[in-house]
């Protein structure tokens, strides 16, 4: 058992982090020179979605705080991993961006010495969602942090953070976890059979959270199957529009489903904190605070909806990738092996050029949704392009 | 705010009949507390101004204090409402009553119960739910109320007619409707137009010709008008409408969404299975049944290929107006041209 167990298929990166942790421990003992060479004060961890960037950030934070360099069992390790450690700040957002006001507060905390004497670790899990001002506000603090402060930023790619931040951090790249490693992890932690684990690992394409959901939840698998039926149903213009509508509605439904549970709980907690329903005067800004929360929840639901859509589009891209594999006789393993016959038939009916254009249309749709184009409209343009080929 | 709440209501602010009456008999006088409620700031302002004018008619030394209710505290309020050292006649206007600090409410109500003789207090509430409790209490204290809600769209010609009568001119029903069509729904603009027309008509009844001469072609254009023209394949009118719409302040995203909605309905209509009953067809397309007639008309001249091109152009334009390109106006024009040319394509 160690804090690194959760990082599936990232052995090279784990090696680098472990060296860094030893270096940090050496520095705490007062050594310098070669013994501390592996450590630095600012890290940028990048990797594709679901590869475990934020897990890596947390594990690193835990190992830094742990007296045994990441045993995973001591109090330090457990509190750091859960986010309860007083010297580890985990910054993430469920909204579309991290605002400069939040970052200013963080910088203040970063300037303090650690309460328990080891390190003050600041983990920004969504560095790609920093607004420009927020990123600018961070620069000074990242360049010259306090003697015991360590910044760990996580982002999908280096291009997602501004160059000025990039140049102040040491870069650590996580790879897409290999399918066998993910499958092995699924069977080990969830106890699912090898076939299901293999399917989930392949279908998730290295996204560990997605693989877990696919292995665990029948409805998630069903939704994915529905999405993958889309290309085979595009017979005419009407069918294209209908498919787009179904995709949009399914995304909205799923986002609403996951939001409903959380929203209600948050609202209840806020109302209790404000003393709604008790005797006595209501605080003057109570209604405003509730409204504020509702707005935040709305923004979050919107982001979830977009995330779901993006995932559907990635699944579709994988399908066309399989078609292309068959058409070009590349011989690599199919991601959607269970749809083998349909894929082969589809491959025979169409040309590789068409498949490439279809994959481009999917990429354009992802970009359009990112650009805030009305999702339904973007999906319609996409299904029409898929149909036209 | 509905008409007829509480006994103290003296009228709707836009109703010319009321304003006339107010000038003659029920004018606010010193010693009154007047409540002005409603979201239409133009009318609220006018009610406040006419109240001040009514009180200060023929006097030169009426002192007017105008401040936001949010800044009020006990000391300031006592100073403002207390007996004056120089016994001047005063008007106190409290705006944004919804921001009144809670601790001030009892003082205000106390004053409303026993107002000073040499003072008119005008309380302006901007409508909405906030501060409703204070309003209800004031109404119970039976202060006079003027309701400044905006007239509904269909009441606008009536507003225009009243406005013009008030200024000493005349206009017939058709003329009033034409003026509303030409100037739009903004009350300030309408009132300005009325006063201009009356002063330039030289005592004649205001004719539609005169309206055309002054305000010709400045009609309000909605994004739907643009979409309808483009979908009908009329390129030039569609472009003209687009320019008007953008000049009238219609947001670019509304144009793309109206266009997307129009094309979506059309595409669903033209690819719906044949032989459906009206009601089923409307459900299949996702529009109210009365819309089917329009769709049937529009669907002539559209092929699936043309519709596909048009929808893709709209999606591109939507991205463009949301920041993918530098010039939203150009992106929209290109979209309108692409869509209207896609009409009638084989």
Per-residue pLDDT reduced to its tens digit, A69-79: 888 888 888 88
pLDDT value at residue B115: 82
Partner-chain contact A237 B304, CB within 8 Å? yes
Q: Which positions in chain A touch B260 (Cβ < 8 Å)?
A: 374, 376-377, 380
Enumerate residues 85 to 114 of chain B having a beta carbon within 8 A of any beta carbon in chain A: 102
Asked which of A170-174, A212-216, B152-156 is least confident by mean pLDDT, the reply is: B152-156
Domain ranges of chain A: 11-173, 179-216, 233-388
Contact A380 B315 (CB under 8 A): yes
Element (H, E) at A122: strand A120-124
What is the average per-residue pLDDT within A205-223?
A: 88
State the pLDDT at residue B25. Answer: 40
Residue A55 has a CB neighbour count (10 Å cut-off) of 23
Tokens of A215: 């292995």
Q: Give start and end residues of each alpha helix (H) in B185-290.
A: 187-201, 208-215, 223-231, 235-247, 252-270, 278-285
Does the distance separating the beta carbons of B102 and A284 come in below 8 Å?
yes
Q: Are A369 and A306 in contact (CB under 8 A)?
A: yes
Cα gap B234→B260, rounded to integer Å: 17
Q: Would you call B44 helix, strand, or coil by DSSP? A: helix
pLDDT at B104 over 90: no
Q: Is the pLDDT of residue B308 over 90?
A: yes
Best probe of the A interface among B106, B264, B318, B319, by most A CBs < 10 A, is: B319
What's the token pair of residue A149? 């402060």
- Count of CB atoms situated within 10 Å of the CB of B73: 11
pLDDT at B316 exceeding the cut of 90: yes
Cα torsion angle, A359, A364, A370, A374, sign = negative
Distance, CA of A169 to CA of B30 (rounded, Å):
72
Residue A1's pLDDT band, with cuts at 50, 70 and 90, is low
91-150 in A: which are within 8 Å (CB) of B?
A: none
Nearest C-alpha in B relative to A378: B315
CA neighbor of B269 nearest in space, from B285, B280, B286: B285
Q: Is A180 helix (H, G, I), strand (E, B) or coil?
A: helix
In angstroms, the separation between the Cα of residue B130 and the nearest Cα of chain A is 10
**Three-state SS at B49:** helix
Residues of B in contact with A376 (CB under 8 A): 260, 264
Q: What pLDDT score was predicted for residue B151?
A: 79
Three-state SS annotation for chain B = CCCCCCCCEEEECCCHHHHHHHHHCCCCCCCCEEEEECCCHHHHHHHHHHHHHHHCCCCCCCEEEEEEHHHCCHHHHHHHHCCCCCCCCEEEEEECHHHCCHHHHHHHHHHHHCCCCCEEEEEEECCCCCCHHHHHHHHHCCCEEEECCCCCHHHHHHHHHHHHHHCCCEECHHHHHHHHHHHCCCHHHHHHHHHHHHHHHCCCEECHHHHHHHHCCCCCCCHHHHHHHHHCCCHHHHHHHHHHHHHCCCCHHHHHHHHHHHHHHHHHHHCCCCCCCHHHHHHHHCCCCCHHHHHHHHHCCCCHHHHHHHHHHHHHHHHHHHHHCCCHHHHHHHHHHHHHHHCCCC
Q: What is the C-alpha R_g of chain A? A: 24
ipTM: 0.75
Whether B227 has its CB under 8 Å from any CB of chain A: the answer is no
How far is the C-alpha of B173 from the C-alpha of B158, rounded, in Å?
Answer: 8
Q: Is A220 on the interface with B (CB under 8 A)?
A: no
- Calculate the alpha carbon distances from A172 to A20, A27, A56, A145 in Å: 11, 21, 10, 19
Examine the pLDDT at B217 and tell me if it is beyond 80.
Answer: no
SS3 call for A8: coil
Residue pairs spanning A and B at CB distance below 8 A: 64
Minimum distance, in Å, between the CA of residue B71 and any CA atom of chain A: 16
The percent of residues above 90 in pLDDT, for chain B, comes to: 16
Q: Which of B312, B322, B324 sits opposite A381 (nearest CB)?
A: B312
Q: What is the pLDDT of residue A361?
A: 95
Nearest CA to A208 out of A90, A55, A63, A89 is that of: A55
pLDDT category at B209 given cuts 50, 70, 90 is: confident
For chain B, the distance separating the N- and C-terminal CA atoms, rounded to the nearest angstrom, is 55
Sort strands B144-147 and B33-37 into parallel, antiparallel or unpaired. parallel
Tell me the two tokens of residue A248.
Answer: 């949009």
**B49: confidence class by pLDDT, cuts 50, 70, 90:** confident
Q: Which of B256, B267, B319 sits opposite A368 (nearest CB)?
A: B319
Q: Which candidate from A237, A376, A378 shows the least CB-CB separation from B267?
A: A237
For A291-331, what is each residue's pLDDT tens digit? 888 888 888 888 889 989 999 999 999 999 999 999 999 88
CB atoms A241 and B271 under 8 Å: yes
- The residues, ordered by sequence, that sit 6+ positions from B180 with a Cβ below 8 Å of its Cβ are B156, B157, B160, B190
* pLDDT above 70: residue B15: no
Q: Which residues of B touch A235 (CB under 8 A)?
A: none
How far apart (Å, rounded) are the C-alpha atoms in residues A206 and A164? 30
Question: Residue B336 is encoded by which pair of tokens?
Answer: 């309108």
Query: Cβ of B304 and A378 within 8 Å?
Result: no
In this complex, the residue of B272, B311, B318 whose CB is nearest that of residue A384 is B311
What pLDDT is recorded for position A155?
92
Which residue from A minimizes the CA distance to B319?
A373
Residues of B in contact with A237 (CB under 8 A): 267, 270-271, 304, 307-308
Contact flag A384-B308 (C-beta cutoff 8 Å): yes
Residue B164 has pLDDT above 60, yes or no: yes
Asked whether B254 and B287 are in contact (CB, 8 A), the reply is no
pLDDT at res. B346: 58
Q: Which residues of A touch B257 (CB under 8 A)?
A: 374, 377
Percent of chain A residues past pLDDT 70, beyond the cut: 98
Output the CATH code of domain A11-173. Answer: 3.40.50.300
On average, the pLDDT of chain A sits at: 88
Task: Tell me the C-alpha distance between B179 and B193, whole Å.
Answer: 8
Q: Do B318 and A374 touch (CB under 8 A)?
A: yes
Q: What percent of chain B is predicted at pLDDT more than 70?
A: 90
Task: Decide which of B231 and B8 is more confident.
Answer: B231
- Give the HSE-up count for residue A111: Cα atoms under 13 Å, Cβ half-sphere: 8
CA A49 – CA A53 distance, rounded (Å): 8
**Would you say residue B11 has pLDDT above 80?**
no
Q: Which is more confident, B323 or B332?
A: B332
Q: What is the dihedral of CA A237, A239, A244, A250, to 10 degrees?
A: 170
Half-sphere exposure of A196 (CA within 13 A, CB side): 15
- Per-residue exposure over A289-299, b if at least 16 CB sit within 10 Å of its own CB, e if not: eeeebeeebee
| Residues in chain A closer than 8 A to B318 (CB atoms) | 368, 373-374, 377-378
Cβ-defined contact of B324 to A371 (cutoff 8 Å): yes
Which of A238, A239, A373 lies at the smallest CB-CB distance from B315?
A: A373
Point out the residue among A238, A368, A378 whose CB comes nearest to the CB of B272.
A238
Touching check for A286 and chain B: CB below 8 Å?
no
Question: Backbone phi, then psi, for A364, in 5-degree steps?
Answer: -65, -35
The dihedrals phi and psi of B183, each to the nearest 5 degrees, come to -95, -30
Res. B106: pLDDT tops 90: no
Judge whether A288 is closer than 8 Å to chain B, CB to CB: no
Q: What are the structure tokens assigned to A33, written together? A: 């020179």
How much is the pLDDT for B279? 85
Distances in Å between the alpha carbon of B192 and those of B93, B179, B211, B287?
25, 12, 13, 40
Taking the Cβ of residue A290 and every Cβ of chain B, the question of whether any pair is shorter than 8 Å is answered with no
How far is B324 from chain A, CA to nearest CA, in Å? 7
Partners of residue A368 in chain B, C-beta under 8 Å: 315, 318-319
Nearest to A371 among B270, B312, B322 (CB): B322
- Residues B97 and B70: beta-carbon distance below 8 Å: no
- Distance separating alpha carbons of residues B172 and B153, to the nearest angstrom: 18
Query: Are β-strands B63-68 and A149-155 bridged in parallel, bridged antiparallel, or unpaired?
Result: unpaired
pLDDT over 50 (residue A156): yes
Per-residue confidence (pLDDT) for residue B256, from 0 to 100: 94
Predicted pLDDT of residue B20: 40
Q: Which residues of B258-289 are buried (b: 16+ CB within 10 A; e: fewer)?
A: bbbbbbbbbbbbbbbeeeeeeeebbebbebee
Nearest to A386 by CA among A347, A360, A368: A360
**Least confident stretch, A348-362, B150-164, B262-276:** B150-164
Residue B8 in this model has a pLDDT that exceeds 60: no
What tokens appear for A162 in the block? Answer: 């501004």
Of A238, A371, A385, the CB nearest to B312: A385
- Residues of A within 8 A of B129 (CB-CB) are none
Chain B contact for A384, CB < 8 A?
yes
């Amino acid at each position: 058992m160690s804090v690194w167990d959760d990082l599936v298929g990232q052995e090279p990166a784990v090696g680098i982090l472990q060296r860094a942790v030893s270096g940090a421990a050496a520095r705490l003992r007062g050594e310098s020179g070669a013994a501390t060479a592996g450590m630095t004060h600012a890290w940028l961890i990048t990797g594709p979605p679901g590869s475990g960037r934020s897990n890596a950030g947390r594990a690193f934070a835990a190992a830094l705080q742990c007296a045994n360099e990441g045993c995973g069992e001591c109090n330090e390790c457990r509190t750091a991993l859960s986010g309860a450690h007083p010297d580890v700040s985990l910054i993430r957002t469920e909204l579309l961006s991290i605002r400069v006001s939040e970052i200013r507060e963080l910088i203040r905390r970063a300037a303090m010495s650690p309460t328990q004497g080891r390190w003050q670790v600041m983990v920004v899990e969504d560095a790609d969602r920093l607004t420009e001002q927020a990123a600018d506000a961070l620069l000074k603090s990242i360049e010259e942090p306090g003697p015991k402060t360590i910044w760990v930023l996580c982002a999908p790619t280096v291009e997602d953070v501004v160059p000025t931040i990039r140049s102040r951090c040491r870069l650590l790249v996580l790879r897409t976890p290999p399918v066998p490693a993910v499958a092995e992890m699924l069977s080990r932690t969830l106890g699912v059979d090898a076939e299901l684990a293999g399917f989930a690992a392949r279908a998730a394409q290295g996204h560990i959270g997605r693989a877990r959901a696919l292995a665990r939840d029948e409805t998630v698998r069903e939704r994915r199957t529905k999405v993958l039926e889309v290309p085979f149903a595009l017979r005419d213009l009407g069918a294209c529009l209908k498919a787009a509508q179904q995709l949009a509605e399914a995304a909205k439904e799923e986002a609403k489903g996951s939001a409903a549970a959380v929203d209600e709980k948050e609202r209840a907690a806020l109302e209790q904190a404000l003393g709604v329903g008790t005797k006595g005067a209501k605080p003057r800004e109570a209604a405003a605070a509730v409204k504020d929360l509702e707005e935040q929840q709305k923004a979050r639901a919107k982001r979830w909806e977009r995330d779901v859509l993006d995932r559907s589009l990635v699944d579709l891209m994988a399908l066309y990738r399989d078609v292309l594999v068959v058409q070009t006789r590349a011989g690599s393993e199919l991601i959607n092996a269970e749809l083998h016959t349909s894929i082969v038939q589809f491959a025979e009916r169409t040309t590789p050029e068409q498949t490439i254009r279809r994959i481009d249309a999917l990429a354009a749709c992802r970009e359009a949704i990112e650009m805030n184009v009305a999702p339904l409209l973007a999906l319609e343009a996409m299904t029409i392009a898929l149909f036209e080929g | 705010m509905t008409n007829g709440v509480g006994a103290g209501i003296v009228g709707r602010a836009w109703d010319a009949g009321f304003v006339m009456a107010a000038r003659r008999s029920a004018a606010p006088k010193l010693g009154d507390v007047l409540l002005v409620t409603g979201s239409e700031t133009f009318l609220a302002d006018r009610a406040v101004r006419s109240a001040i004018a009514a009180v200060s008619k023929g006097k030169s030394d009426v002192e007017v204090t105008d401040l936001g209710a949010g800044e009020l505290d006990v000391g300031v309020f006592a100073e403002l409402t207390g007996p004056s050292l120089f016994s001047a006649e005063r008007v106190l206007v409290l705006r944004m009553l919804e921001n009144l600090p809670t601790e001030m409410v009892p003082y205000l109500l106390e004053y409303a119960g026993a107002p000073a003789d040499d003072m008119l207090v005008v309380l302006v509430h901007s409508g909405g739910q906030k501060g409703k409790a204070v309003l209800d209490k004031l109404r119970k204290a039976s202060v006079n109320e003027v309701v400044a809600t905006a007239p509904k769209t269909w009441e606008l010609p009536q507003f225009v007619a009243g406005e013009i009568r008030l200024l000493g001119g005349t206009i017939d029903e058709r003329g009033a409707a034409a003026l509303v069509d030409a100037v739009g729904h903004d009350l300030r603009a309408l009132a300005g137009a009325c006063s201009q027309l009356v002063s330039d008509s030289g005592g004649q009844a205001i004719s539609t010709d005169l309206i055309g001469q002054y305000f010709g072609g400045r009609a309000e254009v909605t994004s739907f008008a643009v979409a309808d023209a483009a979908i009908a394949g009329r390129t030039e009118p569609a472009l003209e409408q687009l320019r008007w719409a953008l000049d009238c302040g219609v947001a670019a995203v509304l144009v793309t969404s109206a266009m997307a909605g129009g094309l979506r309905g059309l595409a669903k209509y033209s690819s719906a299975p044949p032989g459906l009953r009206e009601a089923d067809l409307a459900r299949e397309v996702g529009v109210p049944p009365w819309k089917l007639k329009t769709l049937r008309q529009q669907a002539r001249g559209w092929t699936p290929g043309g519709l596909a091109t048009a929808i893709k152009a709209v999606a591109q334009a939507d991205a463009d107006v949301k920041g993918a390109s530098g010039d939203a106006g150009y992106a929209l024009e290109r979209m309108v041209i692409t869509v209207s040319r896609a009409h009638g394509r084989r």
